Each structure stands twice: as C-alpha cells, then as structure tokens.
Amino acid sequence: MTHRIRFLPENVSIDVETDESILTAAAAAGIYIHAACGGEGVCGKCRIQLERGDVRNTHGTGLTEKEYGEGIRLACTSRVVSDLVVRIPDTVGADGRSLACRPKTTRPLSARSLETLVGTWETAPPVRKIALHLPPPTLDDNISDMQRLLRGIRQTLPDSPEPYYDHTELLKELPFMLREANWHVTVILLHGKHAEDPETIIAVEEGDTTDRLYGLACDIGTTTVCGQLIDLNTGATIAESSSYNAQVSCGADIISRIIYSLKDHGLKTLQNKVVSTINTVIEDVCRKATIYPSDISYIMTAGNTVMAHLLLGISPRFIREAPYVPGISIFPLTRAAELGIMAHPSVRIYLYPCVSSYVGGDIVAGVHACRMHDSDEISLFIDIGTNGEIVVGNREWLICAACSAGPAFEGGGIKYGMRASPGAIENCHIHPETLDPMIVTVGNTLPRGICGSGLIAIVAEMLATGIIDQRGKFSRSLKHPRIRQGTDGWEFVLVWSRDSLTGEDIVLTEIDLDNLIRAKGALFAGYQTLLESVGLSFDNLDRVILAGNFGAHIDLERAIAIGLLPDLDRNRFFYLGNASLLGCRISLTDQRRFIERAQVRSLMTNMELSDNPGFMNHYVAALFLPHTDLRLFPTAGRNRA
Amino acid sequence: MTHRIRFLPENVSIDVETDESILTAAAAAGIYIHAACGGEGVCGKCRIQLERGDVRNTHGTGLTEKEYGEGIRLACTSRVVSDLVVRIPDTVGADGRSLACRPKTTRPLSARSLETLVGTWETAPPVRKIALHLPPPTLDDNISDMQRLLRGIRQTLPDSPEPYYDHTELLKELPFMLREANWHVTVILLHGKHAEDPETIIAVEEGDTTDRLYGLACDIGTTTVCGQLIDLNTGATIAESSSYNAQVSCGADIISRIIYSLKDHGLKTLQNKVVSTINTVIEDVCRKATIYPSDISYIMTAGNTVMAHLLLGISPRFIREAPYVPGISIFPLTRAAELGIMAHPSVRIYLYPCVSSYVGGDIVAGVHACRMHDSDEISLFIDIGTNGEIVVGNREWLICAACSAGPAFEGGGIKYGMRASPGAIENCHIHPETLDPMIVTVGNTLPRGICGSGLIAIVAEMLATGIIDQRGKFSRSLKHPRIRQGTDGWEFVLVWSRDSLTGEDIVLTEIDLDNLIRAKGALFAGYQTLLESVGLSFDNLDRVILAGNFGAHIDLERAIAIGLLPDLDRNRFFYLGNASLLGCRISLTDQRRFIERAQVRSLMTNMELSDNPGFMNHYVAALFLPHTDLRLFPTAGRNRA
C-alpha cells in the first residue's frame, strides 16, 4: 500500500510503500536529515516532528515520554503506516545559520515503464494441456497405447499436425497410466520452434489436470538466481523466490568462475552448484504455491553467456581468451532433468540465446522484454553489473557491446564495498556546510559497508560539496576531521566507528574513487562508441532503459552528475527492473513472443570494444567527474548551488 | 564358388557351393542315398561312384585303398571342390529289385528374388559427412564455435536448411575439438523424418573423415540377432555377424519373455541382455572390418513388437493380455548409447515401426524390402517362426495377421525337435520300399535331433510312403521295425541309437505329428482368412514370398505336400532370406527408401485371427495332410507314385 509523505518546510512530497522508514523516504526525496548511524536509533540524531498521521516504531522510540508526546520521532525507527506530514527541524550550519537542503533527486520512471515499454502480452503459452477421454481398446480396435493417445489428440485438435514424442520414460509409463486412469488423461503439448512445427508431447497425466498448468521463469545471474512461478492458465505470477548463486563460493565474477572451471572437476562443480541453486528456487516457489515441482511444465531461463555454458556443462574457457569465443550461443532445447533440475523428466528448459561472449541471454531477454526490437524509437539499453552491457537501436538495427566496467557498482574494488544487503549504505546526503553525511542503509541497520547506489550517492554528494574535485581527488585545502590520510592514502570518513556495525570507521578512499571513475568511464565510452558506430549522438536517443537490480535504486541526478548516465531529459529514462526475468516471464506466457525471441537475437550485432581505438579515446576522456567535455553534461550540477 | 553335380543314373543336376557334401547335395536334388548316420562316415553305407571331377575328404575316406582307387566315395565325407558326375549305386528293394528314386524337390527361386522383388537401391544414405575448413576466429569474427560450424555448413550446403543440433555432449567437446583439429573437421549429418526436414548434426570429427561412413543393419530376432556392417560410401556389406539373443536364457519364445518381464527387474534384465547381444554383434563386425564401434554413424534395426519393447525397456505386458495392445508401435528415434549400445553418444538407433502386437517391425521391414507395397502384383508374404506372420496385398492395400502357429517349425513341441544347429536332421528321404531314411544333418555330423526343414521333409516322406495317413496317424497295418509303440504312443524310428550322437533312438511321435499339423493348419487357415477378407482366393496370388531363416531350407514340394504352403505354380514362389535384415540394410543405404518405411507401415492393416470364426473353421479343415479339401491341392503328391 502506498502512502504520501509531505516533508516541511521544503514542502516536498514522496509516495512510499507501507513500512518504509521515514529516514529512507526522506533520503529518496532528497531531504537531508542528520543521521549518522544508518537507522538503528543508536545515534539518536535524526529527530523529526510528526505533524499529521501515524507511524509504527521499531527498536523502541529512543525518546523520552515527553518528546514522544510532542510528536517528536526518530526518522530511522519510524515506519510509515499512513499518509504523513513531517517537519524536519532546522539544520544548523557551522556558523549557526539555519540551512535548508534543496531536493535534488530524480528517479527514472518505473511506474509507466511496463505499459510504455513492455506492452501487453497474451496468456497463450507455448505449452498447453488437453484432456482426453479415450475409448478402451477392444479386439476390433487394438492399436497401440501411443497410437490411441495420438488418435485422441488428433480428434481433439483436427487442425494440428501430429505431435512428436521422443521420451522413452513417458512411453514406459504410458500403458500403466492409461489403464489406471481408466483412459481419461491429460496431455501436455509443447510448441515447436516455429509456429507451424508440430508440437511435442512432454507429459501425460491421469485424469483432467487442465486447471493446473505452470511455468517457471528464471534469471540465472552470476550472483543471484531469481525465479517466478507463473500460472499459465491466467498469466499470473503466483510465487517468487531468489537465492544467491551457490557458485559464488567458487568466485565472485564470471572471470573467476571461468578460471575455476578449468580445474579438475571444476566445470562439474560449477554446474552442480547452479543446478542446486535453481532447485532451491523451484522448491521455494512450489512450497509457496503448494504445488509439486513436477507440476511445472516448462522452464524459461536467461543468463549471461558464462552462466549458460556452466549450466549446460560446456567449458567457458575460450570466452576468456582473445578473441573471446563462446562455445555456443544458441542453446539446444534440453530436458531439465538431464541437467539435474528438479522437474518432470520430460520438461524442457529453454535458455535465451546469447549474442557473444559478454552479451548474454539475460541482455537478449531484457531487450526482448522492452521491445526495442519492435519500436521505431531509438533506445539505449543499459544493464550495469560487473560488466556493463549496452544495446542501442530500434526495430531496424540493434548494436550491442559489453564494457569491462569492473565490479565497483557491485561493491568490488571498493574498500568498504559490499552487495546491497542489510547494513549497506544505499543512500547518502552530505550537508553542504557541516559535511556530515546522512546515512541510509539497507534494512535500516547499523552501517557496515557501501553498495553501488550508495557509492553513486556518496561520490555525487562529495563532488557537489567540493570534498572531491573533478579528477576524484580530495580537496587538500578543506580542513575537516572527516577528510584525512589513511593507510590507503586520502579518504573521507562516512561513519565513525561508534556508529558502525563493525566498530571501525567506514571510509571512501581515493583508490575507491579511481575505481569508480574507471567503471563509469568505461560505460560512458561504451555508449559513445556504439552511438558513433551508427552515426548517432546522445540527442538521437528517444529512451534510455535501465535494467538490472542496480537500476532500482539509482538516482538519476546523481548518476548523471558523476557521468555514469548521459545528461538527457529525465523523462526519457525508464527503469525496467530485472529485465531478464521479465523477458523470461513474457515469452513463457505468450507463444507469439516466445517464437519472436530468436529474431531479437539475430537482430543484435555485437561490437568488441576491447581493442577499439575510438573506445580508448572516449574512455580516457571520461575519466573525469562527470567528463572532460562538459558540453556533454549541460545540466549536471545544475541543482547544486 | 558354384559347382554343378550331375547324379546318375537319374541324370539330375544341381548347383552347389564349394565344400557342400555330396550327401547334402543329393538330398537337395531329391536323390536317395542310403545314409543313416547323418554324415560322419560312421555307418559307411552312403557309397557313391565318382565318375568325373574331384572331391575333398573329411574324417578320412572311410574306405579301403582299392575302393578309393576305383572312385568309390562316401557321400557324407566327400566335399565338392569341382564339377562332378556322381553315380548312385542301384538301391535294392526288400524284394531284391533295383529301385530308382524320382527326384521330387523344388526350391523357391532365390537367385532371381533380389532382382525381381527387391529391385535396386541407391547408395544415398540418410547420413552424410561433409568436411569443413573453417576460418579461425578473430576479434572481428568471434561468433561462437557452434555458429562458426553452422556457417561452414551453410556455405558448403547453401540449399539445405540449417541443421538441428541437440546433443550436449557434442557441444561440450566442440570447442576443444575445433582447436585441436586446427578448424578442419568433418560433420556427420542425419536426415530428418521427411525429405524437406532439416538435418541433425550427430557428430563432429577431427580432420577429413569423409571416406569412413558406416552403418549397422540389425535384425533383432527372438532367437538370433543378426548384424551387417554397411560401408555407406559404397553400399557394400563389409562384415556380418550373428549371435544368439542372450534373452534366450529368460525364455525361448516371446510369451515366456513377456512373463519374465513382469518379474522384479525382469524388464531391465531382458533389456540388458538384448543390448549386450547387439554389442557382441557390433564388436564382431567392427573387429572383422577393423573399425571402431564409434565409427558407426547410424543403426537401423527391426524386430518383432516384443523385442522392440524390450530393447526400449517398455513393458510388453499388455501384448499378452486380450485385446493384445502394444504400448507403442511407432518408435521414437533414440540415442543408441542411452540404451547402453556401444556407439558414439550421438548416434541414433531406428526401429522399424510395428503394425500390432504380433505383426512387428521385422515383418514391416520384410514387406518394405520386397516392395509389395510398391507393386501391382498381389503377393502373399509368409514369415514362419514361432508365430507365422502373413501379409497379403499390393500397392493399394496390405492386410496382415499373425497365426499362433506354435513352435513346431523351430523345434518346439517336437520330442527330438531342435534348432538348425549341427546335428539337426535338416533333410531326409525315406526309401519307398525299405522305409530306411536317408539322414542329412546340419554340419554333416551324427544326428541328435530334428529341425524345422527336417521335420517337413520327414512328414512329407512318411505321408508319401504311407507310413502315416492324412490324419497324421501311423499305419497300424504296416509291420516294420521302425514303426512301433513307444513311451509317448506310436512313433517312427528315424535313427537307430548306434548311429545317433546321443546314443538313443531318434524318433518322431504321433504327438509331434499332431503339433506339426496344428502349426501348419493355423498358417494355412491364416492365408485363407486374410484372402477371403479381401474377397480373393489363392488363384489371385501373383507371388508367394517366403521370408525368414526357415524359408532358406524349405522344399516347396514337401511343404505343399503337407499343406504348409498353398499348391500354386512353383514359379510364383520366392525366397527372400532374412527379409527383416534386408529391409534394414536397404533403408540404411538409400534415403529414399528410408523415408518410405513409414508409408509401408501405414498401408498395413492388422487383422486379429484369434477370435475370428472364419479362421476357426478354416483351421479345423486344415488339420489334415495336406487338407480336408483336396481341391485346394491339385498337384500335391503328384510326383509320388
């Protein structure tokens, strides 16, 4: 349920879900609240005045009875349960002047994105069930059980070609099942590659089970595997689950996974781990929906090229070695059970095709989901993770590339970097005068590190407040206890040890800044190189589509301010969420979209950036905040005084 | 090599292969020689005079030097190595009169059968190899290994649709193989079900291996598995092998195999046994041809319906229970290795489709081989084994049935019955006056039993000499030491204990005769019922085609004399040998014929005889030698005095 919070005196409103903390909501709205401890009520500084509405308190109130009676609350421990009007006390500057902090946050438009980008899709899945009442055999009609089944299908579907059947296990069970079911069975048929292809019989069930038809959409990420159980009779998502990819214990990123795969039994180990992760997700969604894993008739997955190779047990070795060649990019239809996946033995698993070694099926699924391939508008699709994958184009052409951005946005190469799990600083405002940071963590717990969105916020704030310069170097002239030389050189103290979970200061170093600048520089150079290769510039872009988990928490103003995203009309930005999972879900549900997926992949042309001289020039120019060429960023910093 | 033997004084000639014994040749030519011991030179009675040509002696000559010098030889130990003229000494009757035995043997015409029936076929197999020199990948051309392979195929075969690939094992090896082979590989492509279907990549081999393309044709019999290794580049059969089906230890016939399959692990045991038999055959042909089992690209098999079920591990249970329903009749394409067959993991095994529970793929393969389905002439196809399968028809219609003939022709239900292995009496003439049998055994060894062709010969001879009457009862009035009452009732002594391998008398009993009469009666009633069902009679038959091992040794005159075959112009009879194996070989070699095999099956209509009242009437009428209605046998016994 959504509630509106109005913040005074700024008179800025924001809509948030029930149980969001006021601290997180304020940060999202660009409102500065003095809050150092991330949200556990420890520092007790984040006092606000509740003027209308009611909140629910976690960890107690942290206030005296008198204060509470006067409507004072701690922003971090107060959860939204109704519409609110909240007054932020005047913040006092170093010189004693009261300061207001102008809101400066813009989110990409996710609410309208599904409608505008994804369009509608039909519930007409590539699998279907038909119930049959077969006449029992007699001496005058003693064709084989399988022929009887096929005849029944032919009578029910007179216009369809005779379906294939190729699964010996099904044939082994069939004679017994038909008799036990008293010749009343349900057949599950799977569509072929092309619309006119015969279907394949993938299972036969006793009685009429047509009311139970389920599919699993599954995004197989390097870090996380996300699954959605879809009721294919209604198209509804009836359960969701995600689980860390158990391969993480063999390496955090795809390169270390490839290296692990070269060890003895490494490939098999990695395959087993991702399979067991998928099984965990399947068990979880089935438990939530109270169905059996064997009730799932069809599995549609997408993953990057390395994930796909590992799932199928194909060595990704040559993906890592120049000229970066995957073993396979269009994957054969495979029986899920053959891979060890918990599914009916006949159930097929699809993998979205890949374009190249570093533009994988997850990107194809994302492009497919947002229908770039079906639009006249020119879109820039960006999925930021360890690698940044970029796609530009429209219905006539699509060009794509991967930028080896490095793992900064996933917490890698950052001293206190971490994934977006509880305790990660995910948002931050720095007071322009006191330079005190307002710390918002995932889960509103004590801070223990910095995740990607926190990093962008922090760097943008440090740039706006003059703590760092355009090169990402700390202002040596700014004397402030938070700016100091540490063991790794210059650093900024975000959280003092007393307010941190670990009991040590949480800092951001110049090395961290360098890594971040190189990561965003690679991405920005990637956009430029792709656009130039087709003779276009940023102005030609009708839409910028942000995919991936990262995009969910991104603040457009700040991402533009540091040069991670191009400085375009904010209305052109869309946030698509887990686009890979969405693509799986759509093609799982709609046969027409399902068939289309191969066309999407064939429309996508890969461009190798690694040895491209144009890319290198753009990259070097982008190693500034936001960029050496400020004409590219006319509005960046516009909201900063 | 073939040699001609002329027998005097009858002046009858016969062509035989090198190393045939004169005894066997004489028996085949219908020449009586006094020979009691089957052919080991023991009884020493089978003396003949060699008038021209030379022989090779086995077991010594068994003669004095003088006799040898005069050209006397024992017929049983003399092997033909050149054209011969042989004089048979006058046979002396009981009354001292010299007797000549008129030749009375007719063979079905096998020599012309292949030409006339089978026609020619092309060497255009459903698998092909193409050698590719692929360009190594570069940064500008780094499509996946599989896409590179497909591109290479497309460039070589621009008019073919893109082939399928579905085998993960192949994909796992591909990246390494391509690089080890320096991008020079050979692809094996398998045709689809229909001519226009895309091919499937079943294997990739290093270098150019197009000169090595092999297929295995395999007849999976209840008793014997026969294989032929075919060089698919030339169409030549380069090795053959056969092996007893190891399932024999679980039961001699299909009914006892079905019963065994119902036991715990019975089905799996039977599957393992037939697979290991096939592997024995594969090993043997590969050893003979000096290739590896993995060099076989394609396996085409045929077997009866129960054998097919057991090979695939599908329960044949309901085949035995009325209304006799097989689990499956059109078998899916299966990977041979999945069944445990020693083959490259991608190699497919085909099973000829079955028509019904008792008209199996072996019959469809036989019909396919002799092109009944493609001829205007009306043919009667007969395969006699434990079950007799019968097919009647032409290009417009084919009707088929199985007669539960019982195992008499395979030695079952006959006191001294045995399979056609060494020591089995396979031919016999009985002297019309002395009633002494001329005994010819398989391998010319001491007799130990009677095989199917021997049984027909013996019964026909006993009928012709009046030892038995038309009801199959011994003449009680004929006083002869060989006709006596034994433990099982009346019997005829074929071999005295002194001349037998086992040291006991070998006899044929009235019970044996009864079993034989019921077996042939069921078959004959089957021919009549099928013909009547389409409004035809024997006169409408243009051809009678005898298939199966049994047909190889059949003597038409005698088979007609006892009513096993219809009394038609002998020139209409053809012998096709192992028609099932031939069908496999043809469709293995010629893609056009391969595709046609499904049409053959769909043209065949099954008729159940078991509860057919017309069949029962015909059956009762056929329980005579040759038949109660002698108008059906105008020439039977014509050659007998």
Q: Please state, in angstroms and rounded to a whole number, the distance separating the CA atoms of residues A338 and A348.
A: 10
Chain B residues with CB-CB distance to A326 below 8 A: 144-145
C-beta atoms of A315 and B176 within 8 A: yes
Tokens of B283: 């090993």
B354 phi, psi to nearest 5 deg: -100, 160
Which residue among A139, A144, A328 places its CB closest to the CB of B171?
A328
Where b means 16+ CB within 10 Å and e means fewer, A299-310 reads bbbbbbbbbbbb
Task: State the CB neighbour count (10 A cutoff) for residue A9.
Answer: 11
C-beta atoms of B145 and A330 within 8 A: no
Query: Do residue A46 and residue A180 come from a single domain?
Result: no
Which of B172, B201, B270, B325 should one mutate to test binding to chain A, selecting the residue with the greatest count of A CBs within 10 A? Answer: B325
C-beta atoms of B172 and A144 within 8 A: no
Nearest partner of A14 among A101, A86, A79, judged by Cα: A86
Q: Please state, in angstroms and rounded to a whole number, the distance separating the CA atoms of residues B164 and B171.
A: 12
Task: State the CB neighbour count (10 A cutoff) for residue A163.
Answer: 21
Which residue among B138, B142, B146 places its CB closest to the CB of A327?
B146
Which residue among A145, A166, A312 places its CB closest to the CB of B325?
A145
Angle at A603 between CA A601 and CA A604, to 5 degrees: 70
**Please, which residues have CB within 8 angstroms of residue B294's CB and are 6 or more apart in sequence?**
B343, B344
Residue with tokens 């699809």: A350
- Domain assignment present for A423: no
Contact present, A261 and A316 (Cβ < 8 Å): yes
Chain A residues with CB-CB distance to B148 below 8 A: 325
Tokens of A238: 């009836």
Query: Do residue B313 and residue B181 come from a single domain?
Result: no
Helix axis angle for A305-312 and A254-261, nearest 10°, is 30
Closest-CA distance of chain A to residue B434, Å: 52
Which of B138, B139, B140, B144 should one mutate to test binding to chain A, selecting the residue with the greatest count of A CBs within 10 A? Answer: B144
Query: Do residue B220 and residue B240 come from a single domain?
Result: yes
Query: Do residue A523 and residue A621 come from a single domain?
Result: yes
Which of A168, A309, A324, A358 should one mutate to test binding to chain B, selecting the residue with the greatest count of B CBs within 10 A? Answer: A168
Domain hosting residue A155, numbered range: 127-206
Chain A residues with CB-CB distance to B171 below 8 A: 312, 314, 327-328, 332
CATH of the domain at A598: 3.30.420
Closest-CA distance of chain B to residue A35, Å: 51
Chain B residues with CB-CB distance to A333 below 8 A: 166
- Domain assignment present for B560: no
Residue where a domain terminates, one of A206, A229, A253: A206
Closest-CA distance of chain A to residue B381, Å: 22
Q: Give burial (CB, 10 Å; 0-12/13-18/19+) of A265.
A: exposed
Tokens of A178: 């038909």
What ipTM, to 2 d.p.?
Answer: 0.85
Q: Please state, in angstroms and rounded to a whole number, the distance separating the CA atoms of residues B94 and B620.
A: 39
Chain B residues with CB-CB distance to A606 below 8 A: 142
pLDDT at B111: 43
Angle at A343 between CA A339 and CA A348, to 5 degrees: 65
pLDDT at B319: 95
Closest-CA distance of chain B to residue A156, Å: 20
B406 phi, psi to nearest 5 deg: 80, 165
C-beta atoms of B168 and A334 within 8 A: yes
Query: Do residue A80 and residue A161 come from a single domain?
Result: no
Partners of B124 in the beta sheet? B590
Tokens of B301: 């098999």
pLDDT at A104: 54
Helix (H, G, I), strand (E, B) or coil at A3: strand
Query: Do residue B356 and residue B337 come from a single domain?
Result: yes
Nearest partner of A565 among A501, A635, A465, A473, judged by Cα: A635
Query: Do residue B294 and residue B179 come from a single domain?
Result: no
Helix (H, G, I), strand (E, B) or coil at A429: strand
CATH of the domain at B169: 3.10.20.880
Chain B residues with CB-CB distance to A140 below 8 A: 608
pLDDT at A114: 61
Query: Do residue B250 and residue B190 come from a single domain?
Result: no
Q: Please state, in angstroms and rounded to a whole number, the distance separating the CA atoms of residues B134 and B143.
A: 12
Q: What is the DSSP letter of B130?
A: E
Residue where a domain terminates, one of A206, A225, A259: A206
Contact present, A79 and A19 (Cβ < 8 Å): yes
C-beta atoms of A332 and B165 within 8 A: yes
Chain B residues with CB-CB distance to A312 below 8 A: 168, 171-172
Partners of B334 in the beta sheet? B349
Task: State the CB neighbour count (10 A cutoff) for residue A639.
Answer: 15
Chain A residues with CB-CB distance to B204 below 8 A: none
Q: Please state, in angstroms and rounded to a whole number, the distance separating the CA atoms of residues A105 and A456.
A: 12
User: What parts of chain B have a pLDDT lower than 50?
Assistant: 93-94, 98, 111-112, 639-641
Chain B residues with CB-CB distance to A610 below 8 A: 139
Beta strands in A304-454 (DSSP E): 334-335, 348-351, 379-384, 388-393, 398-403, 424-430, 437-441, 449-450
Which residue among A166, A313, A357 places its CB closest to the CB of B332?
A166
Helix (H, G, I), strand (E, B) or coil at A463: helix
Tokens of B390: 């019968």
- Domain assignment present for B247: yes
When computed from its CA atoms, the radius of gyration of chain A, rounded to whole angstroms, is 27
Which residue among A140, A322, A328 places its CB closest to the CB of B146?
A328
In A, minimum Cα distance to B356 occurs at: A143
Chain A residues with CB-CB distance to B337 below 8 A: none
Query: Do residue B196 and residue B285 come from a single domain?
Result: no
Tokens of B354: 């079955």
In B, minimum Cα distance to A339 occurs at: B168
In B, minimum Cα distance to A267 occurs at: B172
Which residue among A179, A313, A354 places its CB closest to the CB of B172?
A313
Query: Do residue A387 and residue A534 come from a single domain?
Result: yes
Task: Estimate to the nearest angstrom the gap between the alpha carbon of B319 and the chain centroid.
Answer: 23
Residue where a domain terminates, one of B206, B223, B245: B206
C-beta atoms of A168 and B326 within 8 A: no
- Domain assignment present for A525: yes
Residue with tokens 């022929």: A147
Helix (H, G, I), strand (E, B) or coil at A249: helix
Tokens of A572: 């052109």
In A, minimum Cα distance to B312 occurs at: A168
- Domain assignment present for B500: no
Q: Please state, in angstroms and rounded to a whole number, the distance separating the CA atoms of residues A494 and A436.
A: 8
C-beta atoms of B357 and A139 within 8 A: no
When computed from its CA atoms, the radius of gyration of chain B, rounded to whole angstroms, is 27
Helix (H, G, I), strand (E, B) or coil at B380: strand
Residue with tokens 């294989």: B227
- In single-letter form, the type of residue at position A451 comes to C
Q: How many CB pairs under 8 A join A and B?
A: 146
Contact present, A340 and A286 (Cβ < 8 Å): no
Helix (H, G, I), strand (E, B) or coil at A620: helix
Helix (H, G, I), strand (E, B) or coil at A263: coil
**DSSP letters along A154-193, please?**
HHHSTTSPPPB---HHHHHHHHHHHHHTTTEEEEEEE--S
B284 phi, psi to nearest 5 deg: -65, -45
- Domain assignment present for A641: no
Which residue among B148, B314, B606 places its CB closest to the CB of A171?
B314
- Domain assignment present for A386: yes
Query: Do residue B218 and residue B202 come from a single domain?
Result: no
Q: What is the DSSP letter of A248?
A: G
Closest-CA distance of chain A to residue B325, Å: 5
Chain A residues with CB-CB distance to B327 below 8 A: 144-146, 171-172, 174-175
Chain A residues with CB-CB distance to B143 below 8 A: 325, 329, 356
What predicted TM-score, i.e. pTM, was given to this entire model?
0.83
User: What parts of chain A have a pLDDT lower than 70?
Assistant: 59-61, 91-115, 550-553, 637-641
Partners of A402 in the beta sheet? A389
- Domain assignment present for A348: no
CATH of the domain at B341: 3.30.420.480
Which residue among B145, B330, B334 places its CB closest to the CB of A327?
B145
Chain B residues with CB-CB distance to A141 below 8 A: 323
Closest-CA distance of chain A to residue B355, Å: 8
C-beta atoms of A315 and B139 within 8 A: no
C-beta atoms of B315 and A171 within 8 A: no
Q: Please state, in angstroms and rounded to a whole number, the distance separating the CA atoms of residues A367 and A361.
A: 10
Contact present, B283 and B342 (Cβ < 8 Å): yes
Q: Please state, in angstroms and rounded to a whole number, the distance separating the CA atoms of residues A380 and A367.
A: 10
Closest-CA distance of chain B to residue A412, Å: 28
Measured torsion, CA atoms of residues A209, A210, A216, A217, in degrees rounded to the nearest 10: 180
Closest-CA distance of chain A to residue B329, Å: 6
C-beta atoms of B171 and A325 within 8 A: no
C-beta atoms of B325 and A167 within 8 A: no
Closest-CA distance of chain B to residue A137, Å: 7
Chain A residues with CB-CB distance to B175 below 8 A: 314-315, 317-318, 325, 327
C-beta atoms of A325 and B172 within 8 A: no
Tell me whether strands B483-486 and B489-495 are parallel, antiparallel or unpaired: antiparallel
How many domains does one find in chain A?
3
C-beta atoms of A144 and B313 within 8 A: no
Partners of A299 in the beta sheet? A216, A349
Query: Do residue A18 and residue A87 come from a single domain?
Result: yes
The gap between the terminal CA atoms of chain B, to the nearest Å, is 36
Which residue among A138, A328, A329 places its CB closest to the CB of B323?
A138
**Please, which residues have CB within 8 angstroms of residue B503's CB and are 6 or more apart in sequence?**
B497
